[in-house]
Amino acid sequence: MLAHHTLSILGIIMALVLGESGTEVNAVLFGSEITNPLLQMRWFLRETGHYHSFTGDVVDFLFAALFTGVRIGIGAHLLFCEMVSPKPRWFVKVGGVAMYAVSWCFMFSIWRFAWRKSSKKYHTWRSRRSEEWQLKHNGHLKTH
């Protein structure tokens, strides 16, 4: 998170000082911050005790989907355009690669979180289903 914010600040300063590459910097900042409302929603749901609900699952899914689509998908296209363009200076291109690399670091963390959360929900579902089957067929819960 510190690298993300440091690179963002440096990109803004660079665009202001040089008077160029403002479009690239704004595109990166927009793509980086578009998922922020969903992160804030997760925080509010946690604070109010509503995170472990269907709404929390929807917010998590939308966050992961939006992050993947915008920061990884569209970000890849924008980075390619920046890299093949002769106009941006070399350090602007390096900054673009650095921001994209930070996005991939976040992406791995998000995927790991999503896998753990999905696995936990699946195992809970399987356990409940097994208990329901046992109650239905013999009237007793299996004790371990």
Instruction: Report pLDDT for 125.
Output: 82
Containing 23, the helix (H) or strand (E) segment is helix 22-33
Residues 6 or more apart in contact with residue 130 via CB below 8 angstroms: 142
Residues 6 or more apart in contact with residue 117 via CB below 8 angstroms: 60
Instruction: Report pLDDT for 140.
Output: 61
What is the pTM for the complete model shown?
Answer: 0.77
Instruction: Report pLDDT for 133.
Output: 65
Encode pLDDT of 9-18 as tens digits: 999 999 999 9
Contact of 4 with 32, CB cutoff 8 Å: yes
**For residues 67-80, average pLDDT:** 95
- Distance separating alpha carbons of residues 18 and 22, to the nearest angstrom: 9
Closest residue by Cα to residue 59 from 5, 113, 123, 124 = 113
Q: Does residue 135 have a pLDDT over 70?
A: no
Encode pLDDT of 45-68 as tens digits: 999 999 999 999 999 999 999 999
Break the chain into its structural domains and give their ranges. 1-139
